[in-house]
Each structure stands twice: as structure tokens, then as C-alpha cells.
Amino acid sequence: MLTGSSQLIWITGAGSGIGRATALELARLGHSVVVSGRRLEPLQDLVKDAQHFPGQISPLTLDVTEPQSVHDAFSTLCARWGVPDAAILCAGNHQPMPVDQFSLERCQALIDVNYLGMMRLVERLLPAFRSRGCGTMVLVASVAGYRGLPTAAAYGGSKAAVINAAEALRCELEGSDIDIKLVNPGFVRTPLTDRNEFKMPFLIEPEEAARSIVKGMQRPGFEIAFPWRFALIMKMLRLLPYGLYFRLIKRKTGL
């Protein structure tokens, strides 16, 4: 759990969007943050933006789809800064996939980033946390993983896998000092959601998402879902029987 004293926090997918905003919020609160992403330039810009904050941001390049890159980045992290107190696994990608554009290649690409990329990091972090006896892992999924949604067979499936994995890890680690938290955002204005061609309900800015994540890390509990109104609607949809759910989605989307 996030405390008021300075902690070392590793954030992946920090070059833009929710990851970037969360890194700035944590640095503003005085934490030491190591930020990772595929490209160095956005990470260096992030360091500049936080130069007057009490906490320091340090860049560490990483491609979560490359096992060797994950190995090298984690080794560098531990050697240079130590095992982090918390890791926010935020790297992800999004591409809509309507049925007339169904593509196994697209499914594989999204699974590789959104799910397998995260599991590559969990594989490194979990033994280190267990050896030390404590640590916090924050797995960022999406409310799109609650139920199947139109055009989201690839994206929603990858996020559903993250939700399931987080639940499984939490079950086994319950009662230990290794804290697993699951983040399920709704629509957040990022370069990924900018690809959407429809009006996004309850759209929020990444700074608001970051504050929700940080507040959730400061409290006990498993899931951090926001914005709460949209998350509540999506949770209620999970309770509907299939026949009613499919009719409702067809009527609302026209698909």
C-alpha cells in the first residue's frame, strides 16, 4: 500500500496517457519514480516536467513485448535503484476490431502487449517481492474486460485476461504483505482513446485518472475503478442474462 513517506515506484507505459499522469502525480507527492516506455524521448520530457517536484523521476527504456528487454530493464532497475516498493503495470495498446476486420494478427498483437507483456513483468516482480516479503503490484486493465463489447473482441479479451490474472494472484497472496491491486478505467482521454470514432460517455482527463489510482493505492482494497458512474453501469451489465444483455447492447450501439 502506498504510504506518505517517499517510496520507489516503477511505472511501465509511462510515456503517455494514464502512466504519464500517474508518474507526475506521484513525483508531486514526493515519491521516487522510475518511468518506462519503448521510446526514451517521451520519458526525458517527463523528467523535465517534474524537475521542480519534490520527488524525482528517472527514465528506463523497456519494450514489454521483448523478453530480453524486460530482463535487462528489471536488472538495471534493481542494480541502480533497488527492488521497487510498488510497480504500476500500465503499458497497453488499443485497436478496435469490427467483425468485418477480424484479424488473428491483431488479437495476437494486443494480447502480447496488454496481457503477456504484463505477465512478463509479474514474472520478474513476484519473486523479488516474495523474497523481500512485501510489495505492491498494480495491474491496469479496463472496464472493457467486464463483458464482451462490440469491436472489442481483441482488446476486451486481453483486458479480461488481466482481470482474471489479478483476481487469481490476489486469491493466493491474500493475507500476505504483497498487495495486488486491479485498476479498471473507463474512458480516459489518451492517444489510444483518441482513435475512437464514437462519443465516449463519462470521458475524463488522465490527471483525474492518476489521482484515482494514487488514492486507491493509499487504501486497502483490491479494485480501483473509475469514473465511478460508468464503472457502476458496467458492473451492472455483468449481472444481466445473455439474452437481455445482447438485446440491450444492440439497441444502444445499433450494431
Residues marked as catalytic? 155
Length of the chain: 255
| Measured distance CA(181)–CA(136) in Å, rounded | 8
| Measured distance CA(212)–CA(234) in Å, rounded | 18
- Residue 82's alpha-carbon distances to 9, 20, 32, in angstroms, are 10, 21, 11
Q: Taking the CA of residue 201 as centre, how many other CA atoms within 13 Å lie in the half-sphere pointing to its CB?
A: 10
Computed on alpha carbons and rounded to an integer, the radius of gyration of the chain in Å comes to: 18
Closest to 136 measured CA to CA, from 77, 70, 69, 218: 218
Taken in order 6, 10, 12, 16, is the CA torsion positive or negative? Answer: positive
